[in-house]
Amino acid sequence: MSLLKYNQKRNFNDTAEPKGQVGRSENQLVFVIQKHAASHLHYDFRLEMDGVLKSWAVPKGPSLDPEVKRLAMMVEDHPYSYKDFEGAIPEGNYGAGNVIVWDNGTYLPADEDYKGTAEKKLLADLKKGHLSFTLKGKKLKGNFSLVKLKGKQENAWLLIKKEDKYATTDDVLEKDKSVISKLSLDALEKKAAKEKTVSKKADLKPEAAVKKKNTKKKSVIGFKKPMLASLTEKPFDDPDWIFENKFDGYRTLAVIKEDDVQLFSRNQISFTKNFQPVTDELKKINHEAILDGEVVVEDESGRSDFQLLQNYLKTGKGKLKFYVFDILNLDGNDTTGLTLLERKELLKMLVSKSKFSNIIYSEHIEEKGIGFLEVAAKKQSEGIIAKKANSLYTVGKRTGEWLKIKLSQQEEAIIIGITEPKNSRTYFGALLLGQYEEGKLKFIGKCGTGFSQEVLKELHAKFEPYFTDKSPLEEKVPHRDTIQWIKPKFICQVKFSEWTQDNNLRQPVYLGLRVDKSVKEVVFTGKNKDTITKKKEKMEKTNVAEEHKEKNFDLKVGKTTLHLTNQNKIYFPNDGITKGDIVTYYNEVADLILPYLKDRPESMYRFPNGIEQSGFYQKDVDDDKIPSWLKTKKIFSESTNSDIDYLICNDKATLLYMANLGCIDINPWNSTIKHIDNPDWVVIDIDPEKDDFKEVVKVALMVKEVMDEFETECYCKTSGASGLHVYIPLGAKYDYDSVKLFAELIAHEVHTRLPETTSLERSIKKRDHKIYIDYLQNRKGQTLAAPYSVRPKPGATVSTPLEWSEVNAKLSPSQFTIKNVLKRFEKKGDLWKPVLGKGADIKAIIKKSS
């Protein structure tokens, strides 16, 4: 409730803003939204609490669209009386600019079922970092949430409109007039300009303004090593990713301070003077910041060209452009803990404020990477960059959350020698090139084209002081040329047609020297040393894909030979998916699914005639009719009062055998034969009767909320049908009866919180079309589709592990199929792995909840 910061930042002899004093409403709590044209236009969102106005700066302003999440930066508390402030804050003062009261009214907690006062409830929710409230304003009405973002930036929140009768896609910001004065911000500015007196102008001297400006204590802003992208081969479509153009220039960090602008390479080499036009232009920014981008020179078609940039460094000819794509710090606030889209929102706002001739915000598109690369190819661009939309900025690290997808074949190479010139060539014939592999220099070929006479002379002069008689390579170079070795000091950029079988560059062309990297960073990226092994593995994987074109064939898996039959039988008539396609999928995904099948009895759900015919469960297998290499386990069944021979799936051969029997989905027990009475997890099966997947998502998120309160991890996957499965790891520490009771406890808690949409009734008739929270799946012998299992549903959907950030309104039960999940699994790895971990402490949770 402290107003100390507020008072410290303001000179009340110079501004009409009210002094910081506590005040309260007599009845209902008030809110106010002020539109504020300061150094950048934004909206100040303020909620009365504890005698002050808790305040957030919302750069893009509030929205009534539930799909739109607005970044809101929490700022210092403002006094209660600030709710009525309108007018001009003079230059030289904190927040200088014009302010109108854009909206105001009263508010209260969205959840009406709370103990104590509304204010106590809101203060408690504020402390938790999740406020839900109902606004009763003139422009904003209905339910909203403020949600604190996790990460380094402590004051970053999201302002979100909730789905209700007031939700709309209409732009509420078009209603731009004050609810008090009825003036727009432009009209207020004109009015303020007329009322400004000459004496008032004289009072504020430039020296005084500078002095006031410098009283604000700021964090140190300096060079940081940029985040780096990993190389990947193929483009992809993914709603969780954005895609940007890949530039052919120098990666550049701009460090902008109040009285200084410096440009650096990724290794802190100064570019300030080299790129002076960019340096000068950045001085127009009236903020301190660290910007990340690429300096380029473009050709007539607008394509960045490294050779043109090299030419600029020599001659000064060409126009430099600085494409900025990230921001690491703004006015002393570390932004690396914000998500990528939040950082880009801030960056775009910063760049758009000034009219730059050569500082350009790097635009992006969402989701459609394949089409974006096709456009880049038509423009003859170097390629594209894929970035995960919610990725944080990892300083100095190369990460899989940023990926570069190249169109043109280009490499950085270390110059390790030159050959003797021949015929009319002078100075040298070709460059010998190398890259580091596991700390040792590796020869990757020679480059003899791309040089003018002037470049040959210039390079020779640079190389000469570093001539050496000793080869920097441990290997012998397979060339008869006379070689002058050079100490590994110089890096060049080359383009080439392909890598040869012996890992040399084919037809390399010299583009220019690179000054922005150290030689140790130039590592071998050609064909992997394990190419032969990988090719063999790939052939083994594709054997199924190729051979299933035949009706019947034998496939060797390890030491076992499988006889696969009727591989061209159609299993999914509307999709043209065959039995062979299912076998191929399980062959590809075996390494992922097998850990969740190992040592577990299998209830085989068979569809030998495809999904349009009735399937059947088979638990008991006939030892006399199955191959001798299959593993089975006898387990006593109380319901049949007899032993059942269950199939145990511990290897790929067994998995493909099951698929060949028509097991489209794979259904293991929750426990293994090593501890048959103790399941490895709790499962909450969220099973809707009607098609309302958004409500299913809400139930899953409520399960997570309950488990978060229990301080226990849980994991979500699509069922592959119409529901979601939430698993809680247990580590086989409890018996089935205890686990079922625990699952029932969770289900009851979720149902208590969502009584209108959920049901615990087993009988479909008694559920009243509500979502069934099925905790009875935790009984001994019950099974569910395994993670990575195909389901007998249209499209051949797959039960897919999810990150919790993916469990949102955009999630669809049919979005993951055998046609698209393999790329996802390759990128994300096994998200389900923690489910086999140590496990929750049920006793501690029950004790805490009681």
Q: Tokens 């790939």 — which residue?
A: 538
pTM of the model: 0.41
Q: Other C-beta atoms within 10 Å of 54: how many?
A: 22
- Cα separation, 800 vs 832, in Å, equals 9
- Number of helical H runs and strand E runs in the chain: 18, 44
Fold adopted by 228-406: D-amino Acid Aminotransferase; Chain A, domain 1 (3.30.470)
Fold adopted by 410-521: OB fold (Dihydrolipoamide Acetyltransferase, E2P) (2.40.50)
For residue 422, give every residue at least 6 positions away whose Cβ sits within 8 Å of its Cβ, in sequence order, or none: 429
Cβ-based burial of 570 (10 A; exposed 0-12, middle 13-18, buried ≥19): middle
Residue 424 one-letter amino acid: S
- Cα separation, 788 vs 797, in Å, equals 10
Domains 228-406 and 681-849 share a fold: no
Nearest to 308 by CA among 228, 372, 364, 247: 247
Which pLDDT value is given to residue 667? 94
Fold adopted by 533-666: DNA primase, PRIM domain (3.90.920)
- Cα separation, 125 vs 571, in Å, equals 52
For residue 176, give every residue at least 6 positions away whose Cβ sits within 8 Å of its Cβ, in sequence order, or none: 35, 102, 184, 185
Confirm if 244 and 389 have CB atoms less than 8 A apart. no
> What are the mean pLDDT values of the chain's consecutive 10-residue runs (850 residues total)?
79 87 88 90 94 93 90 91 91 88 94 86 92 94 90 77 89 90 82 48 29 42 91 85 93 92 92 94 92 93 86 88 95 87 90 86 92 85 90 87 85 94 89 90 92 92 94 82 93 85 85 86 68 40 44 80 88 88 92 95 91 86 81 84 89 93 94 94 91 91 92 93 94 92 92 93 86 93 94 94 93 90 90 91 78
Nearest to 586 by CA among 515, 672, 487, 652: 652
Superfamily of domain 681-849: DNA primase, PRIM domain (3.90.920.10)
What number of CA atoms fall less than 13 Å from residue 123's CA on the CB side? 14
Apex 378 CA angle, 376 and 379, nearest 5: 65
For residue 834, give every residue at least 6 positions away whose Cβ sits within 8 Å of its Cβ, in sequence order, or none: 713, 715, 729
Confirm if 486 and 430 have CB atoms less than 8 A apart. no
- Cα separation, 580 vs 547, in Å, equals 9
Which pLDDT value is given to residue 4? 83
Nearest to 66 by CA among 162, 139, 171: 162
Q: Please, what's the largest Cα pairwise distance for the chain?
A: 106
- Cα separation, 144 vs 56, in Å, equals 14
Tokens found for residue 230: 């990993």
Q: Other C-beta atoms within 10 Å of 27: how many?
A: 6
Tokens found for residue 110: 């969205």
Tokens found for residue 35: 């539109």
- Cα separation, 188 vs 826, in Å, equals 56
Which pLDDT value is given to residue 151? 62
Nearest to 95 by CA among 162, 40, 148, 140: 40
DSSP reduced 3-state for 670: coil
Tokens found for residue 741: 């009771």
For residue 408, give every residue at least 6 positions away whose Cβ sits within 8 Å of its Cβ, in sequence order, or none: 382, 383, 495
Which pLDDT value is given to residue 216? 38
For residue 286, give every residue at least 6 positions away whose Cβ sits within 8 Å of its Cβ, in sequence order, or none: 39
Q: Other C-beta atoms within 10 Å of 741: how many?
A: 14
Query: What residues are paired with 529 via a beta bridge?
Result: none
DSSP reduced 3-state for 620: coil
For residue 319, give every residue at least 6 positions away whose Cβ sits within 8 Å of its Cβ, in sequence order, or none: 277, 297, 298, 358
Tokens found for residue 469: 């008689």
Q: Tokens 């207020």 — which residue?
A: 188
What number of CA atoms fall less than 13 Å from residue 445's CA on the CB side? 25
Confirm if 599 and 631 have CB atoms less than 8 A apart. no
Classify strands 758-759 and 771-774 as parallel, antiparallel or unpaired.
parallel
- Cα separation, 151 vs 189, in Å, equals 38
Q: Tokens 């939309």 — which residue?
A: 389
Question: How many residues in total does the chain contain?
Answer: 850
Q: Other C-beta atoms within 10 Å of 803: how many?
A: 12
Could you state, in order of their start, the residue ranges of all structural domains in the chain?
4-195, 228-406, 410-521, 533-666, 681-849
Q: Which residues of 618-642 are buried (b: 16+ CB within 10 A; e: fewer)?
A: bbbbeeeeeeeebebbebeeeeeee
Tokens found for residue 515: 């000054």
